[in-house]
Amino acid sequence: MKLNKYSVGVGDRFAHQAKAQLQACVKALEHGVEVVPVWNKSNREHSIIGSDPTSVRAAADAAVQALGWKLPYFCDADHITAETVERFLAPCDFFTFDVAEFIGQPAEAEEIESFVKRHPELHGSIELPGADQAFEITRDQLQQTAEKFLAAVKKAGEVYRIVLGAKGAGNFIPEVSMDETDRAQTPVELLIILAAIADERIPVETIAPKFSGRFNKGVDYVGDVAQFEREMALDVAAIAYAVRQYGLPENLKLSVHSGSDKFSIYPAINATMKRFNVGVHLKIGLAEAGGEGLALAKEVYGEALKHMEELCAPYATVIDIDPAKLPSAEAVRGWSSGEYTSALRHVEADPAYNPSLRQLLHVGFKVAAKMGPRYLKLLEANEPVIAKNVTENLFDRHIAPVFLGR
C-alpha cells in the first residue's frame, strides 16, 4: 500500500457527500490527472457529532462502488493520538499521528545527547539540491530543536507501533502532523524532525508541518504568500534530502492541512510541485456544501452564536473570529437567502462576505449534529443540489488550481 503522488483529503461530516466528492476526483481523471481521495475525519469531529469511524469507511466504500472508481482510496484517522486511535484501527488505512500538543515537552537528556551525537551530518552547512539556499545548522540549534521536538516524535512512534501491531507493516499510510500549534516549524526544524522520525522507524509518507501564516477554518490564508512559497520550497528540498539520507519512503511528501479554502496559496503550491516534480497531499477538510435551507441555516447560526465559546475552544489555533463582526441572531433572522449566502460564501471581492461568520459556522456543525434527524432529512431532501455544489466546488476551486494548475 502506497500513497499516490497527488491526493486530496476531504471531510464528510454527516457522511452524505462521499459520492459527490469522489465525482470531483473522477473529473480530475477526465482531465488526465490522477488525484486519489482520502476521506478524513478527526476524533474531534467524531466526538462532536457522535459518529463512528466505521461510518466514514462505509460511505467511502459505497461511493467507490457506485462510481466504479478503480484507483486507490483511503480512510484517514485524522489527528489521532495513542489515546484515541483504538476505534480507528479496523476501518482506517491512513493514520495521522497528531503530536502538536507534545511539542516543547522535555525529552530525556541522554536521548537528546544521543540524537545529537548520532547526527553529525546535521550540523554545519547542508546543500539541498534545487533549493535557493543551504541550511546552516549550529550544534546549539540542533540541540535546541531536539529538545523541542524529540518527545513529540517519540509520541508519534508510540502510536505508530500501536497501528503497526494491529494492521501489520505496509497495510496503512502513516502521516505525522504538527500543524495545530501556534508557532510555525522552519524548514531546518522539519529536516531535524524527519531525522528523528527516521530514528523512530516510522515509514512516514506524508508530513504536515505548521507553515507560517494562519490557516483558519473555511476562510482564506492569512499571511505572506511569497514567504509561504519560499518556505514550502525549502520544506520540499528538506524532504528530498531526508529521503536520501535516512531511507524514508521515496514518496514522502508534504501534507497541507488547509482547513479549506486557502485559495491564495494554491498557485504557490502548484508552482512548487512543478518546480521540484513532487506531489502533495492537500487535506481540505470540508468544502462548502451550500443550499441547506435558509430557516435551518439561520437557526444554526443563532445557536452557534449562543455557544460560541464552547464551539471555538477545540479550534483555538485554527480560527480567528472577530466577535465585533458577528451580526446578532436577530439580524440574521431577517436576512434573505441571498444575504445569508453572500455573508457565508467565500468570495473575497464581495463586500458582504463575512469571514468571522463563516468560521463560526465552520466550527458550529455541532449545532447541526444536535438537530439530528431534522438536519439529516434536510440534507437528503437537498441532495441533488448539494451534490452538484460539492463536486463543482471541490473540483473548480480546489483540485483544478492545485493539481491541474488552473
Q: Is 104 left (phi over 0), alpha (psi -120 to 50) or beta?
A: left
Alpha-helical segments (H) within 247-382: 266-276, 294-306, 308-312, 329-333, 337-344, 355-363, 365-370, 373-381
Q: Does 45 bind Zn ion (CB under 5 A)?
A: no
Cell triple for 141: 540549534
- Residue whose C-alpha is closest to residue 208's, from 238, 179, 173: 179
Question: x/- contact string, 118-157, with Zn ion (CB under 5 A)?
Answer: ----------------------------------------
Interacting stretch for Zn ion, rule CB under 5 A, among 27-35, 102-110, 157-165, 254-262? 254-262
Smallest separation (angstroms) from Zn ion to the CB of 98: 7
Smallest separation (angstroms) from Zn ion to the CB of 79: 6
Smallest separation (angstroms) from Zn ion to the CB of 309: 22
Question: x/- contact string, 273-302, with Zn ion (CB under 5 A)?
Answer: ------------------------------
Pick 69 or 215: Cβ nearer Zn ion: 215
Pick 97 or 115: Cβ nearer Zn ion: 97
In total, the chain counts a number of residues equal to: 406
Interacting stretch for Zn ion, rule CB under 5 A, among 136-144, 171-179, 287-295, 351-359? 171-179
Query: In whole angstroms, what is the distance from residue 305 CA to residue 301 CA?
Result: 6
How does DSSP assign 65-129, residue by residue? HHHT--S--EEEEEEE-TTT-GGGTTT-SEEEEE-GGGTTPPPPHHHHHHHHHH-GGGSEEE--T
In DSSP terms, 173 is beta-bridged to 94
Restricting to residues 213-252, which ones interact with Zn ion according to CB under 5 A?
Answer: none
Cell triple for 122: 546535521
CA-atom Rg of the chain in angstroms: 21
Residues in contact with Zn ion, counted by CB under 5 A, come to a total of 2
Q: Does 261 bind Zn ion (CB under 5 A)?
A: no
Among 155, 210, 230, 257, binds Zn ion (CB under 5 A): 257
Among 12, 147, 175, 179, binds Zn ion (CB under 5 A): 179
Residues at the site binding Zn ion, with contacts judged by CB under 5 A:
179, 257
